[in-house]
Structure 1
């Protein structure tokens, strides 16, 4: 399945290329298009934590998951708190206080919400185990990606060398301006000092990429989104760029035990 151009098409979601070789896998990252929410949440706001009309959020979720041919009663989400807690999901539902979800159950669709933080999706095609991770700067310095990969090993026997991963759309280094109090938590290779602005810039994508590699994933098994929530704000929500008045995107992953992934659009 070919990804459509960001400049000429307005899809509800995009499918990571790294996962296209696995027909049993349903994995996608939403855009801000195709929903019913009004400004400033326009239009495909999928996040229940925003002050948007709950009916609009529910309709947006229905549209998004219907386009993936996923029933809403198969979805597992959690209220995220920028921590490192990991949940082994046994059944679909709404949970609290987890920033990473893992499962080896077929037909359970994991989902995390984002609007600048980094989503990471992991798939073990041998044991059919999956993970969906929400990694803001606190989760990143807390090594949530590395800890989640370890949880896949401990819970399901996953060999990280067999896994594939997608590092999704988030705020890029050129836009993630932080003060010393945040920068001091990152190693030098993940931050850049701008003397003119008197600020640091942090690279969340690289930091999480290197956690995957340190955990045992092969570099050629990792895809990094070329998009930015700030630079491509016309297509993605950015909490920082839009000063908190914005919607939320979803990154989702699940395995289908009965049929191949056949989304309505991509």
Structure 2
């Protein structure tokens, strides 16, 4: 892959959040950073063997492109669980896969490289969430639990909320064994008899959790991209055998 370390960070802004002034939401690609192979080039994840200096510079570039100071970012070391953190101040946290806040000038962020990022915004209560949903988190219904936590914590009504389900491994690429497949609803998996394996649709499974909690179908946007099929533009942990970088999905409200 051609290096692009001199270019600006590349990211995608969800259309569904377009109507809301002051809301900054984006999903990075792998382009526009300083990291070299195999983390080329906009590696935003510290849990790699990339140099800390590269990761710091990439984060500075990415958030600068969004007009966000890095000092306002809230992240957590993710553990593929279902723990949810109510964020009161920016910083680095430990052990949470979902972050929620109703504070302005806090930019929530989750790292991804095949797992499903989900961003949620309630324009009535001005509350938001950033969720990392791998297959374990999806089975554990982290998305549903996050919406319910926003409801309990901030008084959010799911019908008022908007959501973006971001770029992750696609249903044609996420091959799993029976022990994983049996934990998913039949609607969200398909068996390939030739391979003797199931293929799971993480986007559909997490979308269903949003619908089950009361979000309106027309207020949910799905990324059309795949970390595997579109690997030239996105990092894929599985496709690149673990030697790859991380993207970020982020959401925050500027005061």
Deviation at 1:165, TM superposition (A): 0.1
Which aligned pairs between 1:251-266 and structure 2 lie closer than 5 A? 251-257=249-255
Partner in structure 1 of residue 157 of structure 2: 159
Partner in structure 1 of residue 248 of structure 2: 250
Give the TM-score, by structure 1 length: 0.93
Q: Which runs of 4+ in 1 moved over 4 A?
A: none
Partner in structure 2 of residue 91 of structure 1: 89
Asked if the contact 2:86–2:101 (Cα under 8 Å) also holds between the matched residues in 1, the reply is yes
Partner in structure 2 of residue 200 of structure 1: 198
1:65 to 58, 63, 70: 63
Q: Does 1:191 align with 2:183?
A: no
Partner in structure 1 of residue 27 of structure 2: 29
2:129 to 117, 128, 131: 131
Give the TM-score, by structure 2 length: 0.97
CA distance in 1, matches of 2:47, 2:153: 30
CA distance in 1, matches of 2:132, 2:77: 11
RMSD after superposition: 1.0
CA distance in 2, matches of 1:216, 1:155: 17
Asked if the contact 2:100–2:128 (Cα under 8 Å) also holds between the matched residues in 1, the reply is yes
1:182 to 180, 183, 196: 180
For these two proteins, the number of residue pairs brought into alignment is 249
Q: Secondary structure at the match of 2:100?
A: strand
Deviation at 1:24, TM superposition (A): 1.4
Deviation at 1:10, TM superposition (A): 8.3
Which aligned pairs between 1:104-123 and structure 2 lie closer than 5 A? 104-123=102-121
Q: Secondary structure at the match of 1:246?
A: coil
Q: Secondary structure at the match of 1:94?
A: strand
Deviation at 1:187, TM superposition (A): 1.0
Q: Deviation string for 1:127-182 (max 9, x for gaps)?
A: 11000000000000000000000000011000000000000000000000000111
